[in-house]
């Protein structure tokens, strides 16, 4: 199982301590993602097909919409990880960069200064401290990791191509109809593309498949409902188009890491 030890949510996004001992399916987030080892056995993050070991000296940085999964090593052994989900608009407001920022490299070798801020943030989460120091630690950790990721590729910063209008149309449809059981053949036709061309172009432009994008939308709305509304887990699942609480719980655990009831309990107690 996966257990959330402590969770925080706010304008920055989300940050949590997780005890992990099972793999996660390939998924993606609108947010940037930082993954730090805390204790226990090491694990492997697969980012866009690359296997990256997370250990005391190295962290994994994942850009928005970059597909990734997790594997404990060996399987079944638990380890504790500090996980950040960083809203691009929050980071942009502090750094003055494009909201659609990306990391230069996925593997980051931690400097002593960066490791200090990671340790400090973990200590604050364990102590359930939700004061100004948490925001400071989040900013310092994110900013330092961002700079480290571009240390060898600074000339490539800001290189971004505009979205194809047909992909823009498909994104608008999914944003509007995420609660429906969307057929990808229908979505391709609505985007004026054949199914193979639609999947190829979508992956080229967004970095993930249409299915992963849709799963992310549902996960985000589920998290918002868990934190901001009194609706039951069953109600949230039905509102998102799931036929039962069990199917919704399986979906949420696979994409977020913990069961929805556990996520709500830990986040609201923090």
Q: Is residue 175 classed exposed, middle or buried when 0-12, 13-18 and 19+ CB atoms within 10 A define those classes?
A: exposed
Helix, strand, coil percent values for the chain (each to nearest 5): 45, 25, 30
Q: What is the pLDDT of residue 255?
A: 81
3-156 and 165-269 agree in CATH topology: no
Q: What is the sign of the dihedral through the CA atoms of 266, 267, 268 and 270?
A: positive
Token duo for residue 167? 């992909």
- Kindly state the helix (H) or strand (E) to which residue 246 belongs, with its residue range: helix 245-256
Examine residue 261 and say whether the peptide bond preceding it is cis (omega within 30 degrees of 0): no
Angstrom distances, CA of residue 158 to CA of 150, 153, 155, 209: 11, 11, 9, 23
DSSP string, 100-131: T---S-SEEEPPHHHHHHHHHHHHHHHTT--S
CATH topology of domain 165-269: Arc Repressor Mutant, subunit A (1.10.10)
- Kindly state the helix (H) or strand (E) to which residue 148 belongs, with its residue range: helix 132-149
Token duo for residue 122? 């973990």
State the 10-residue block means of pLDDT for the chain, 270 residues long. Answer: 72 84 80 90 86 91 89 77 89 70 90 90 79 80 90 57 86 90 92 93 87 88 89 93 91 84 73
What backbone phi and psi angles, to 5 degrees, belong to 115? -60, -35
* C-beta neighbour count of 170 within 10 angstroms: 26
Q: What is the pLDDT of residue 97?
A: 65
Residue 230, Cα to own-chain centre: how many angstroms?
24
State how far the Cα of 266 lies from the Cα of 7, in Å rounded to an integer: 6
- Pair 91, 64: CB distance under 8 Å: no
Mind spelling out the 3-state secondary structure of 180-204?
A: CCCCHHHHHHHCCCCHHHHHHHHHH
- Pair 177, 213: CB distance under 8 Å: no
* Domain 3-156, CATH class in plain words: mainly beta
Q: What is the pLDDT of residue 1?
A: 43
In sequence order, the 6+-apart residues with CB closer than 8 A to the CB of 27 are 67, 68, 69, 212, 215, 216, 219, 254, 255
What's the whole-model pTM score? 0.74
- Pair 104, 252: CB distance under 8 Å: no
**Domain ranges in the chain?**
3-156, 165-269
């Amino acid at each position: 199982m996966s257990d959330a030890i402590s969770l925080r949510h706010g304008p920055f996004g989300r940050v949590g301590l997780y005890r992990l001992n099972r793999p996660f399916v390939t998924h993606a987030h609108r947010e940037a993602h930082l993954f730090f080892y805390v204790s226990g056995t090491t694990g492997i993050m697969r980012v866009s097909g690359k296997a990256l070991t997370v250990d005391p000296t190295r962290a994994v940085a994942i850009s928005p919409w970059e597909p990734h999964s997790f594997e404990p090593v060996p399987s079944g052994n638990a380890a504790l990880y500090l996980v950040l989900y960083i809203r691009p608009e929050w980071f942009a407001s502090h750094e003055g960069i494009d909201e659609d920022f990306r990391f230069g490299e996925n593997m980051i070798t931690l400097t002593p200064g960066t490791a200090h801020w990671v340790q400090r943030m973990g200590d604050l989460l364990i102590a359930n401290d939700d004061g100004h120091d948490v925001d400071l630690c989040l900013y310092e950790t994110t900013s330092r990791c961002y700079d480290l990721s571009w240390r060898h590729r600074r000339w490539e910063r800001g290189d971004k191509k505009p979205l194809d209008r047909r992909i823009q149309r498909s994104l608008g449809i999914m944003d509007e109809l995420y609660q429906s059981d969307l057929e990808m053949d229908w979505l391709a036709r609505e985007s004026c593309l054949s199914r193979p061309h639609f999947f190829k172009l979508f992956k080229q432009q967004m970095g993930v498949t249409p299915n992963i994008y849709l799963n992310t939308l549902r996960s985000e709305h589920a998290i918002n409902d868990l934190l901001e509304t009194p609706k039951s887990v069953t109600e949230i699942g039905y509102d998102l188009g799931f036929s039962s609480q069990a199917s919704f719980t399986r979906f949420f655990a696979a994409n977020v890491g913990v069961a929805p009831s556990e996520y709500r309990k830990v986040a609201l107690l923090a």
